[in-house]
Structure 1
């Protein structure tokens, strides 16, 4: 087969993800595609995978992808090819043994309502009837997903490849990509063993080889290969008598999956100790369809636990041991979307259960063709990592992910692996003050501070020991003053004669018109999705400072860079060079005045204004804003000044009641003020209109995405953000993606929540049908502790008139 000299897209790798992408790109209308695979299709990790496709998943976006993948394999492929479905709809059982597991299962079940997959509680007796040859006498709770199962990977990947080929894609097998060069015009010269192709886009679907493919163009790929083994047993006569196939059983105590294979068992443990990384010094390009020698001794304790679940398993011999390489990322979510380093070089690699996640091809194709997808891709976006995710970090975190594959999850879980990797200059100071740090985008952030009474917290989805401590932190902010470290936020400086015009084309809100003023804005994609939420401080018409979320730092800066053509501007990412503090509470002015001669009065330094002032002997960029909803200042300075300024504020502020507070209190107070947050209320699949941000959107001007927003406004919104205030006293908060019901019918999905300590109520945001986003509407939410009662309010629960902010 001769290769074309030019193409729109080259996909490097022909495993599950690469072939799925090729097919779905053709479905989106892009047929000028060349997929290059160094071996046969599926010859990497795909061919030896166990083929499990579960509906149970702790990531909402992945759950949607899994659900679509099952539909693709079981319904769409047969309908398009005329072939019978090869999908084994066996259903699955997930077994819980502890209280925290049961709470987690309740959260997963609530999320499933908006995914569209069936998920039911079953008793131990019912589970034994479903499992037929297995019993679960010690189980505390069991979830049954009747419509998932497993599939032979080759039986679905090959038809997808054939359909892509019939639609116009070229699939070049046994042809290795030797090198990739970025040309001056932004295109790629893809050099293969069989010829050179010039491509507009390149997608790294290299699987185990993804780091090597990324290195060809200088793209960092934070991924590690680990060995994973499963075994297939000899036949058992009792299984041969069954009239229906066994479900897939996943058991946290055995840390294993068990399913039927023919008339025998297929059992795959994820050992909780001793996971083995592989190829840490790079892959050998000759590796193809390779397996490692089986090591049953390493997994024997888990196999023995499986024998307790399925006694027949103990009565059969081992027919085959499959020990192959599986890719793992630091958080075990795959790497998807644009790379940070090279425009139009895309990532689609790092899936640890790539068969179940093959349907990502649909959403990746949407991303490439339309610039956004119908899902919130933030948790999969490859730009959530950067070079700070170094080799040691990736290995350590990948091992953690592997060894906790079937462990319970909780919002208070705080694992130590690979930490610290990104820290504020105040990290040690905060630790010495008793900070319990949690991690966001690798960055260590204080969540709450130990007291003499509370030194640790339990893993739970309910209120735990730290609940009372966070209440004290909020009370200090409300009644005196609090201080918290803001260094872990994204910070950008925009300069140059075109700075105003450059930001004006991106910003949905009018930019500040006066020097020294602050505004809040959203950036939208052409299709209307929210790309960024940023505060904009106008230093002058030729200089602006932007502040945003640390989790979207790389993505936001890339968005700025991609739109600077034809503008005379300079862009600087000052995230790592600037540290920050928030001083907030009714005594904030009095405390700050102790270390400055600047006039901090309302007339000289009003709300939503900014200026550089001197604290002690240091110039500090001060912003009169507070996400906590009290009088306050955000204070930014070079990182080397941060400890000194913090210590001065504590010295003078402690006698006035100044106290450290963490992100738990911060989130609670932002919820009381009904402030939205990027990654929760603001995501790429919705616009600022659905988010209720009309007063920050000026549709009288043109900006990127304005036409789409006008169309949405004219057509009418299909969902709107509602502010929920809970009417019960159940000690469990919303964490995001829980199901919302109106009169027993599903109406929406929670984006986030917290207990409002200043108002004494649980609070949440949720996207619901427009008819239910009205004041007083009664709704229910399925939480991790059961059904909760709430109603909709249209104004903030705390200081709706912003009196305290203006004090």
Structure 2
């Protein structure tokens, strides 16, 4: 099936759907403070897992992944990015090496690699695993976790390395990472252990005021810490004619009511490709290797890395202009599109025009309200010449054909929040 921009604007039944489906547990303001003041447990078990094994497993991965594999230790994880021939992101996720011929892919990338395994001559196999994935992050996270397992193993973990731990009587893995920009681990293991592990973490976290991360706030830490996300900040580069076969393969994995992408906002792209993004535009240039040219998209990415057109920034939206949008709902007559708090929940790539003197200079995505900073923020891919910190721009709010508001905004760094994820674990224990 071919999708047009108009199809993506309305969805198959006129609406999009939430990828989380989680409730609020306390309230979203309280939960949003957890990764700055205490800690949270967030459930990301909805991500798909594919396990690739065999002598050619790493070759398969390398042929379709932008990362360097010159060094890749057993137990190490990488932020693996898969691009099309033009260097636009198809999928991305976490890749972990569990053995010399044993690799786990978390996220949609496993489908892309499985598809290419079936089309090539690789001595490798793929199986679907079903694991739980619980992020435990925040300034008190280490105290919670070290009370549950061998503290020395936990505290010795290097960043983006998974260490074996035992929690609630189960042997699982703890991946040191920091999606909230704070110290933290992602607990991973077979789904049948999940409930025991989750409850053990909650019980141990009570004295440290742990919070469950609810669905309304789940993506605000991505915004504050600048982690662009598929379907929120870009759509997968799978809508081109040469990807038709893969599109059919991928659609077979999705719920019947869903489609691969939904879009909204003031930016009026004429073709799905205008909503694609490269790893460079998404702030992932450091993972893109130029030391080899044998992966899909290598040539395009080498050229872009040497001379980028757009870069990732945070935008700080003007409070008076945001208030004018919200206040329009309290008067008679036409009003601006509702600016949901803390952010849209429906799974759209909400993509708004960024202008300087009426000229398009980029797009804003992941618009959300940070209760901690008391700011309306967004991520933005913006032209290099307008990306200097402190630059004033305007974001156009309102769908095409609706009343639109030009909102003043200031270019700020990405990440907006200080990144403390690589800090010293022992100092927090």
Larger Rg: 1
Secondary structure of the corresponding residue to residue 635 of structure 1: strand
| 2-structure distance, mates of 1:472, 1:750 | 26
Q: 1:479 to 1:686 in 2, by over 3 A?
A: closer
Contact 2:167 2:200 in 1 (8 A): no
The answer on whether the counterparts of 1:630 and 1:805 sit within 8 Å (CA) in structure 2 is no
Counterpart in the other structure of 1:762: 376
Instruction: State the match for 2:283 in structure 1.
Output: 692
Rounded Cα–Cα distance in structure 1 between residues aligned with 2:389 and 2:131: 42
Displacement of 1:650 in angstroms is 1.5
The offset of 1:332, in angstroms, is 4.7
Partner SS for 1:560 = helix
Whether 1:61 and 2:1 are equivalent positions in the alignment is no
Partner SS, residue 700 of structure 1: coil
Aligned pairs (5 A) from 1:291-306 = none
CA distance in structure 2 between the aligned counterparts of 1:519 and 1:559, rounded to whole angstroms: 15
Which structure has more RCO (C-alpha within 8 Å, separation ≥ 6)? 2
Partner of 2:43: 485
1:787 to 387, 395, 406: 406
Contact 1:724 1:792 in 2 (8 A): yes
Question: Distance in 2 between the 1:801 and 1:579 partners?
Answer: 25
Report how many aligned residue pairs link the two structures.
356
Once residues 121 and 144 of structure 2 are traced to their aligned partners in structure 1, the CA distance between those partners, rounded to angstroms, is 46
What is the correspondence of 1:545-560 to structure 2 with a 5 Å cutoff?
545-548=104-107, 553=108, 556-560=110-114
The equivalences for 1:703-782 within 5 A come to 703-713=295-305, 716-728=307-319, 730=322, 732=339, 736-782=350-396
Residue of 72, 78, 86 corresponding to 1:527: 86
Query: Are the aligned partners of 2:397 and 2:405 in contact in 1 as well (CA < 8 Å)?
Result: yes
Distance 2:297 2:145 in 1: 41
Q: Find the residue that maps to 2:61 and give its secondary structure.
A: helix
Structure 1 residue 677: deviation in Å? 1.1
Structure 2 residue 64 is matched with structure 1 residue 510: no
- 8 Å CA contact 1:579–1:642 kept in 2: the answer is yes
Q: Which runs of 5+ in 1 are unaligned?
A: 1-16, 22-58, 66-107, 109-330, 334-400, 412-437, 452-468
Q: 1:582 to 1:713 in 2, by over 3 A?
A: closer
Equivalent residues of 1:629, 1:804 under 8 A apart: no
Q: Deviations over 1:595-634 (max 9, x none)?
A: 22352554x1132110221112101122111312221111
Does the CA contact (< 8 Å) of 1:538 and 1:545 recur in 2?
yes
Q: Out of 106, 122, 138, which is 1:585 matched to? A: 138
On the 8 A contact 1:682/1:688 being kept in 2, the answer is no
Cα distance change of structure 1 residues 754 and 478 upon mapping to structure 2, 3 Å threshold? same
Q: Cα 1:768–1:586, aligned 2, differ >3 Å: closer, same or farther?
A: closer
Q: What residue is the counterpart of 1:116 in the other structure?
A: none
| Residue aligning to 1:195 | none
When the two structures are superposed, what TM-score results if normalisation uses the length of structure 2?
A: 0.74
Look up the SS of the partner of 1:707 in the other structure. Answer: helix
- The equivalent of 2:98 in structure 1 is 539
**Secondary structure at the residue paired with 1:445?**
coil
- The root-mean-square deviation of aligned C-alpha atoms, in Å, is 2.9
Structure 1 residue 636: deviation in Å? 1.6
Q: 1:439 & 1:771 partners in 2: Cα distance?
A: 36
Mapped pair 1:626 → 2:185:
no
Give, in whole Å, the separation in 1 of the partners of 2:11 and 2:378: 28
| Residue correspondence of structure 1 range 29-428 to structure 2 within 5 A | 61-62=5-6, 332-333=11-12, 401=13
The answer to whether the Cα contact below 8 Å between 2:41 and 2:210 also exists between their aligned partners in 1 is yes
482-491 vs 492-501, which deviates more?
A: 492-501
Q: CA 1:617–1:633 in structure 2 vs 1: closer, same or farther (change >3 Å)? A: same
In 2, the alpha carbon distance for the partners of 1:670 and 1:497 equals 36
Spell out, residue by residue over 1:642-676, the C-alpha distance to the aligned partner (whole angstroms, 9 max, x if none).
11111111222112211111233231111111111
Q: Where do 1:426-505 residues align within 5 Å?
A: 439-440=18-19, 445-449=21-25, 451=26, 469-505=27-63
Cα deviation digits, residues 369-416 of structure 1 (max 9, x gap)? xxxxxxxxxxxxxxxxxxxxxxxxxxxxxxxx3xxx6xxx7x9xxxxx
Q: Is there any run of 5+ residues in structure 2 with no aligned partner, and where?
A: 238-275, 324-338, 345-349, 399-403
